[in-house]
Amino acid sequence: MAGRVKGTIDRATHLLLDEATQAIFTTVVNLACRAPNLKKMMVTGDVRQLGVHLSELQEVLWSGFGLESITDQLLKSPRMEETVLKRCYRSHGSLVECVSFASYVPHGEVLLPVEAVTKSRTALTTSAINLPKAGIPLVLIHSEGRIQMDETSFSLSNVEHRRIAQEVVLILDANLPKSNTIVIICLYLYEKEQLALAMKEAREKKMLSRTVEVHTVDSYQAKEADLVIVVTTKTAATADQNPFGSSRISGFFQDSQRATVVLSRAREGMFLIADFNTLMGCKVWGRFVEKAKEMVPIFNDEYLRMMESTKIKRVDGILANLNGYSPIPSSGKFTNQADIRNPAGGPVRGRSIGWRAFAPSQTRASHSERPRPSNRGQNSFDQGNLVGKGPKTSPGEPASIVRKVVIGPVSARQNERFFLSPVSRSAFLSSFYPFILIFLAMNLFFHVLIALN
């Protein structure tokens, strides 16, 4: 950065440095030293968002060597004047309130919505799309899904989350003006690669009328879009079944700065596709969902069928079909169905989010269907165990890898049809130990005989 501005930096008297949390301290000092006429520097940045990426360096170098963010150093200096900006001029007010509660209130700070901005963010709220709660451009779609792990990078992708994101993109593209930008943000690189390929193919086949960009969270800081689809990928089953350990992935997923970035990119509206059992166990994610639930319900993927339907009504403001059914998950610690009633006074009917087939749209590309296990009545929110009537896996038992690791709510019996469990594999190999010892002994005996002759 400092080298590229050499021609103009000599004449600069004032310097404005934006997104300073991602600027390395020594780089900024180098830049300032190249400006002999510099009188004042204004630095802006949000310490609640991503800072300098140092994970590739040894941890001992992360602090004390000038490689950290310039904001970390300036905030420690008593001579620096600090001004806190509280109003958010980017997003719809409902989104601002959720982000504020999730990321800023715990630190004694607040992010305030701007009424004029909220009134102008009407692309989604005035469209033909049926929102879960009228006037609130926030959609929460629950899906556990199945995890795939890239065999090279070990990054993750979720088959069902990807399918839902593709369907949401098609619906948004068909119902929103071409001037509105649509962006998909993924937490995992493998998910981003898969969705980017899908969006490219859809564009080439003219299924999309606009370009839909796909980014990772880290690459989208300091950017924004009208409509943002957040694909979280991870499920509650991932941690227990991750064959390479859960600490690295969990630490990445729960990073508060990364969560703040991804949740604050949308201007007009946001679709959050997630296993909300997982999100509720994370600090920033959990607080965001907690606040969002005060405004909108969490729906399952049956909501996709209702987004463009004309056969709908509102039950206490909540989207429902003509029979009063709302696609609210019937189980899970994140739901709050007691507050949602139908006209008869009872709770709105919901279904289990277990395995079921999703009917593909006749006007769009076909969707992959979930397999139907025989134990359809089993609750799919059985925490800590694989869903099904077969034998349960012990906590922490890793899933075996068959080309790509498939992690998700499948029964242990189904797994045994394709590969041996770690315990069975050990027992299988140990049965050959006596034969191996006999072979080695005979081999040694014949070598001795040959040597004596």
Domains for the chain: give ranges and CATH numbers: 3-74 (no CATH), 87-339 (3.40.50.300)
Give the C-alpha separation, 312 to 315, whole Å. 10
CA distances from 212 to 10, 165, 170 (A): 41, 11, 10
d(CA 453, CA 449): 6
In degrees and rounded to multiples of 5, residue 338 shows phi and psi of: -60, -25
Residue 172 one-letter amino acid: L
pLDDT digits (tens, 9 = 90+) for 434-451: 767 777 887 787 777 777
Integer Cα distance of 425 and 420 in angstroms: 6
Question: 213-216 and 156-158 as β-strands: parallel, antiparallel, unpaired?
Answer: unpaired
State the pLDDT at residue 286: 95
**Distance linking the first and last C-alpha atoms of the chain:** 78
Q: Give the pLDDT confidence score for residue 124 in this predicted structure.
A: 97
- Edge to edge, what strands does the sheet with 156-158 contain? 156-158, 147-149, 405-407
Quote the DSSP letter at residue 6: H
Identify the pLDDT of residue 334.
58
Q: Pull the structure tokens for residue 169.
A: 């993109």
Q: How far apart are CA 164 and CA 429, in angstroms?
A: 42
Q: Cβ atoms within 10 A of the Cβ of 397, count?
A: 16
Cβ–Cβ under 8 Å, residues 26 and 52: no
Amino acid 55: pLDDT: 61
Model confidence pTM above 0.85:
no
| 48 close to 107: Cβ distance less than 8 angstroms | yes
- CA separation for the pair 277, 287 (Å, rounded): 13
Report whether 415 contacts 390 (CB < 8 A): no
- How many residues does the structure list for the chain? 453
Q: How far apart are CA 341 and CA 316, in angstroms?
A: 7
Amino acid at 201: E
CA 117 – CA 40 distance, rounded (Å):
32
Contact indicator for 25, 73 with CB cutoff of 8 Å: yes
Token pair, residue 193, equals 């690669």
Residue type, position 87, single letter: R
Strand residue runs (E) in 70-143: 87-88, 112-113, 138-142
* Residue 332: predicted pLDDT: 57
Which amino acid would we find at residue 238? Answer: T
Whose tokens are 């021609």? That residue is 7
Q: Which residues of the chain have pLDDT under 70?
A: 1-7, 53-62, 237-250, 331-433, 435, 453
At 250 the pLDDT is: 61
- Number of helices (H), then strands (E), in the chain: 16, 15
> Which residue do the tokens 């990364």 mark?
258
Res 391: pLDDT: 38
SS3 percent helix, strand, coil of the chain, rounded to 5, is 35, 15, 50
Q: How does DSSP classify residue 5? A: G
CA–CA dist 36, 275 (Å, integer):
54
Answer yes or no: are the C-beta atoms of 193 and 234 closer than 8 Å.
Answer: no
CA dist., res. 277 & res. 258, Å (int): 19
CA distance 397 to 187: 25
